[in-house]
């Protein structure tokens, strides 16, 4: 296999050869080592280790982009020809890219624990077997279980016609587990995901969390369904992270807005969306999270971008192109799932800042409301969202009361931001996220936040 230094020389030579034919040229080379294991019930569905080498070429000419992917380094010149030709056919305007200082560097996101590549496949499989047995043996009412393990180590080289030559590497790990329970016609699910960019140990001691997923599924079988209606709601930090990512974060991605005048007007700078205590951020610069890195897939340095400051919209997320067109700074948010796809504007780590209300005080003065924790699923459609809570309780007379099931939270993101009545003084990072956009599903992200108290949330359940 070609040495890293040789690959860098090849990329630099080809950039020099073709850069005068376009306004901008970038090559991204990717080498990955990965493990995937999936157990469903008692069956092994996936058990694989793989190594892949490939890359992509992006060329821009008069505002038009050409893209080509490759698996064979020997064909790179041909792929560059294809990307350049496509860009020259499409381009009919002006190339506007936000300025980024060229950089030449080698960097690696540090592991604080064991590199998963040092752990044998049999040991990883045994860990999955242990978790699967915990789920299956919890109750005879558990009818189906699923355990999935994945790890990947990526080494990326980015070369640009502006003189950047960046080598960056990191590892990512994820464990997913779920149990489906049935009693008569009632079916309930308990699931959870744990992710890490720190080390294999983060996935090793999850027995209590795994048992908790099975326990939630079984307990929910005998719980009453909540009565649908509009309630004051307290959500935990995990649901806060899901909300800020799904409901608000995607609207902050500038490729969603820069060609959509209506959405650009809705998301106009200086517009108030919440109280003065509301702070929302996104950034890859904070270390140790699943959306963290040093440079994005265009070679732009990672940043921390404040999206909402004191309740007012002050920022958005950019690639170099969207930043250039809107006259705003590049934020380092151009990301691709792998070399098969061009980078899109994507979130990294997205969070709501910690508040100053003691968590116990969030429940005060609520005569009848809902306390929702964890998540089962969710969907967004523009400004509207619907999330399913992993577990929930009624709030009665300021206290957490009886548990209930089938709790979904729905609403308009902008009304919900305005309806945040109090922000807790707790905070939690959820590293379970795998974000989807433009067919690129499962991109690792981090989400975080404190507990929140919301007024007038539409809660789905049974009608009486």
Distance from the Cα of residue 267 to its chain's centroid: 21
CA separation for the pair 197, 202 (Å, rounded) = 9
CA separation for the pair 384, 414 (Å, rounded) = 9
Pairing of the two strands 24-40 and 64-70: unpaired
Residues paired with 370 in a beta bridge: 233, 394
CA separation for the pair 37, 91 (Å, rounded) = 44
Which CATH superfamily, name and number, covers 4-221?
A: PmbA/TldD superfamily (3.30.2290.10)
CA separation for the pair 223, 181 (Å, rounded) = 13
Q: How far is CA 201 from CA 115, 116, 133, 183, 457, in A?
A: 9, 9, 20, 36, 39
Q: In this predicted structure, what is the pLDDT of residue 53?
A: 95
For the ranges 45-54, 59-68, 143-152, 260-269, which has the lowest average pLDDT? 260-269
3 Cβ contact list (under 8 Å, min separation 6)? none
Q: In this predicted structure, what is the pLDDT of residue 34?
A: 98
Determine contact, residues 241/247, Cβ cutoff 8 Å. no
pTM: 0.96
Q: In this predicted structure, what is the pLDDT of residue 1?
A: 54
Q: In this predicted structure, what is the pLDDT of residue 87?
A: 98
Burial of 371 (0-12, 13-18, 19+ CB in 10 A): buried
In degrees rounded to 5, what are phi and psi of residue 184? 65, -125
237-262 pLDDT tens trace: 999 999 999 889 999 999 988 888 99
Q: What residue segments make up the domains of the chain, in order of their start?
A: 4-221, 229-460
Q: Does residue 379 sit in helix, strand or coil?
A: strand
């Amino acid at each position: 296999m070609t040495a890293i230094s040789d690959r860098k020389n090849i990329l630099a030579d080809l950039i020099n050869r073709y850069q005068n034919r376009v306004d901008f040229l970038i090559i991204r080379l990717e080498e990955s080592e990965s493990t995937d294991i999936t157990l469903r019930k008692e069956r092994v569905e996936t058990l694989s280790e793989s190594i892949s080498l490939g890359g992509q070429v992006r060329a821009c000419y008069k505002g038009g982009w050409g893209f080509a992917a490759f698996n064979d380094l020997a064909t790179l010149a041909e792929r560059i020809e294809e990307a350049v030709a496509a860009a020259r056919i499409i381009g009919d305007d002006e190339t506007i890219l936000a300025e980024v200082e060229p950089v030449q560097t080698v960097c690696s996101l540090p592991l604080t624990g064991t590199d998963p590549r040092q752990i044998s496949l049999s040991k990883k499989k045994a860990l999955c077997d242990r978790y699967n047995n915990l789920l299956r043996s919890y109750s005879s009412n558990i009818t189906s279980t699923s355990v999935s393990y994945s790890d990947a180590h990526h080494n990326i080289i980015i070369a640009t016609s502006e003189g950047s030559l960046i080598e960056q590497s990191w590892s990512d790990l994820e464990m997913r587990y779920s149990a489906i329970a049935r009693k008569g016609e009632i079916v309930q699910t308990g699931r959870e995901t744990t992710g890490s960019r720190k080390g294999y140990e983060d996935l090793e001691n999850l027995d209590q969390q795994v048992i908790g997923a099975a326990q939630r599924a079984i307990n929910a079988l005998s719980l009453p369904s909540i009565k649908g209606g509009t309630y004051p709601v307290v959500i935990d930090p995990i649901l806060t992270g899901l909300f800020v990512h799904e409901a608000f974060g995607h609207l902050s991605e500038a490729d969603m807005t820069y060609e959509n005048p209506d959405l650009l007007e809705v998301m106009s700078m200086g517009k108030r969306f919440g109280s003065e205590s509301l702070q929302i951020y996104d950034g890859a610069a904070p270390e140790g999270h699943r959306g963290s890195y040093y440079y994005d897939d265009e070679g732009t340095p990672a940043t921390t971008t404040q999206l909402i400051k004191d309740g007012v919209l002050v920022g958005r997320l950019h690639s170099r192109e969207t930043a250039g067109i809107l006259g705003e700074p590049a934020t380092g948010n151009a990301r691709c799932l792998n070399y098969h796809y061009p980078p899109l504007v994507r979130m990294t780590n997205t969070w709501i800042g910690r508040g100053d209300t003691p968590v116990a005080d969030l429940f005060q003065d609520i005569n009848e409301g809902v306390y929702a924790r964890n998540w089962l699923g969710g969907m967004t459609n523009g400004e509207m969202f619907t999330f399913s809570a992993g577990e929930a309780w009624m709030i009665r007379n300021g206290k957490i009361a009886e548990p209930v099931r089938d709790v979904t939270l729905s609403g308009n993101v902008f009304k919900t931001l305005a309806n945040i009545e109090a922000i807790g003084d707790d905070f939690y990072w959820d590293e379970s996220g795998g974000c989807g956009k433009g067919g690129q599903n499962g991109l690792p992200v981090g989400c975080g936040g404190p507990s929140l108290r919301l007024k007038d949330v539409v809660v789905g359940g049974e009608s009486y």
